[in-house]
């Protein structure tokens, strides 16, 4: 269970000979080794039936559906193999205890700011002067006092992220104008890259949560809602700078994505299919990248870091062991 | 992790059996050749199952590396492993 598969073609996805087969509209047949699949991302127009869904369910493979123009449209999650009433109970208890909830929310934000800062200081050392941004991030970090309410914590996070985003216009080459975060729909190229990247981080965290008994809808920083897997939003925030944003810098600075990879649609700016494919290839490479883990004492992939993160949180909730969220250490 | 290259030589009417089984785990790169990355546990399962599937006179060879990064792979012409994750 290691690889994500991305289906861009239109066609039909089916169970065939105990594995998964894609039959494209041109009747081309391609096989996905189901035993090696973590999740299938559908970007094209795909038909599938209940037989396939049951089969993927048996193998614990999630399907993430990206609808029209690759807006994240939802996931078909396998029935959770891991079920534990105790885990969910502890999770709800932590949510319901204001002090505990704020403590977790603070940790998520501290780690997010740390990871944003890591990106900024990388470019600060390479012919950019981001000293003032780093100071602003540090100031927000210091504001994370135990007394702050959730909405105040959210405010700290938003201020830090604004400071962080202010570096994008400098880091990205001329022509790519960012000017601040806007979504629903994204108004320009950089915003559409961020939206697409963030939705991929989110979907990958959803897959990681699924491997544990944690309930993806009970969260701490974000308010649990009716629809979203809000725990995934909490955890995805920590990883966006490492995964989504660095892919943007690489692709744009190496000109693997240019203005031709976007189109204006419905008052917004969206990635074309070729742009999305270019982003995804780089993104999957990023997930496969490995780093020496000081506590596990072995090399782990970035994708595995997502798993580790969910396990740590679960352990904290069950045993009270302190939760130290992922902060880039290299 | 383990990177596997599996090569099999079996009776013509039985190749589909091996093809069908290996497609669940690996990528079909050429006639009777599969490769790909698996966990160490899966690799053991695959080897055991393949051994059980064999009949007298048939053989399967499994080349196993500690991971994809340990393989220096040169392909001339089309590479079926190219963009395997993107369909």
Give the tens place of pLDDT for each residue, B43-53.
999 999 999 99
Interface test mutation site (partner B, options A35, A39, A55, A66, max chain B beta carbons within 10 A): A35
- The pLDDT value recorded for residue A173 is 86
Instruction: Name chain A contacts of B25, Cβ cutoff 8 Å.
Output: 33, 35-36
- The pLDDT value recorded for residue A53 is 93
- The pLDDT value recorded for residue A226 is 66
H helix intervals, chain A? 50-58, 85-96, 98-124, 131-143, 150-165, 168-171, 189-210, 230-239, 246-253, 273-288, 302-319
- Say if residue B85's pLDDT is above 90: no
Asked if B87 has any chain A CB less than 8 Å from its own CB, the reply is yes
Contact A19 B23 (CB under 8 A): yes
Q: Are A200 and A248 in contact (CB under 8 A)?
A: no
Q: pTM for the whole thing?
A: 0.87
Distance from CA of B28 to the nearest CA of A (A): 9
CA-to-CA distance for A275 and A104, rounded, in angstroms?
A: 36
Instruction: Name chain A contacts of B26, Cβ cutoff 8 Å.
Output: 33, 36
Integer angstrom CA distances of residue A233 from A92, B47, B79: 17, 41, 38
pLDDT for B11-45, tens place per residue? 999 999 999 999 999 999 999 999 999 988 999 99
- The pLDDT value recorded for residue A227 is 67
pLDDT < 70 positions in chain A: 1, 69-70, 80-82, 226-227
Q: Mind giving me the DSSP string for A183-250?
A: -SS--SHHHHHHHHHHHHHHHHHHHHHHTSS--TT--SSSPP-SSS-HHHHHHHHHHTIIIIIHHHHH
Closest residue on chain B to A17 (Cα): B20
Contact B26 A9 (CB under 8 A): no
- The pLDDT value recorded for residue A127 is 81
**Orientation of helix A273-288 relative to helix A189-210, angle to 10°:** 50
Contact B25 A6 (CB under 8 A): no
Q: Are A314 and A84 in contact (CB under 8 A)?
A: no
- The pLDDT value recorded for residue A181 is 85
């Amino acid at each position: 269970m290691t690889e994500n598969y991305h289906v861009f073609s239109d066609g039909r996805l089916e169970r065939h000979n105990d594995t998964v087969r894609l039959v494209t509209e041109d009747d081309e047949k391609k096989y996905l080794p189901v035993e090696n699949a973590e999740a299938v991302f559908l970007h094209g127009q795909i038909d599938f039936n209940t037989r396939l869904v049951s089969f993927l369910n048996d193998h614990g493979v999630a399907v993430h559906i990206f609808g029209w123009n690759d807006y994240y449209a939802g996931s078909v999650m396998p029935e959770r193999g891991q079920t534990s009433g105790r885990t969910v109970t502890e999770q709800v208890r932590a949510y319901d205890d204001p002090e505990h909830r704020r403590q977790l929310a603070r940790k998520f934000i501290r780690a997010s700011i740390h990871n944003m800062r890591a990106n900024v200081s990388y470019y600060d050392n390479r012919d950019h002067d981001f000293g003032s941004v780093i100071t602003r991030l540090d100031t927000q970090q210091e504001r994370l006092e135990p007394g702050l309410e959730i909405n105040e914590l959210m405010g700290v996070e938003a201020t830090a992220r604004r400071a962080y985003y202010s570096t994008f216009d400098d880091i990205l080459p001329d022509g790519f104008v960012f000017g601040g975060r806007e979504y629903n729909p994204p108004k320009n190229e950089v915003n559409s890259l961020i939206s697409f990247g963030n939705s991929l981080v989110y979907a990958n965290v959803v897959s990681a949560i699924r491997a544990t008994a944690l309930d993806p809808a009970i969260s701490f920083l974000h308010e649990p809602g009716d629809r979203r897997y809000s725990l995934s939003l909490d955890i995805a925030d920590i990883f966006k700078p490492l995964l989504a944003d660095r892919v943007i810098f690489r692709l744009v600075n190496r000109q693997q994505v240019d203005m031709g990879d976007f189109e204006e649609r419905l008052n917004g700016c969206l990635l074309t299919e070729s742009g999305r494919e270019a982003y995804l290839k780089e993104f999957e490479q990023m997930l496969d990248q490995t780093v020496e883990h000081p506590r596990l004492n072995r090399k782990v992939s970035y994708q595995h870091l997502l798993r580790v993160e969910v396990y740590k949180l679960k352990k904290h909730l069950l045993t009270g062991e302190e939760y130290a969220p992922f902060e880039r250490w290299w | 992790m383990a990177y596997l290259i599996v090569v099999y030589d079996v009776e013509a009417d039985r190749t589909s059996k091996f093809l069908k089984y290996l497609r669940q785990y690996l990528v079909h790169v050429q006639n009777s050749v599969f490769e790909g990355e698996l966990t160490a546990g899966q690799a053991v399962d695959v080897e055991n199952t393949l051994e059980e599937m064999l009949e007298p006179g048939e053989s399967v060879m499994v080349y196993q590396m500690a991971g994809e990064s340990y393989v220096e792979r040169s392909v001339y012409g089309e590479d079926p492993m190219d963009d395997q994750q993107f369909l």
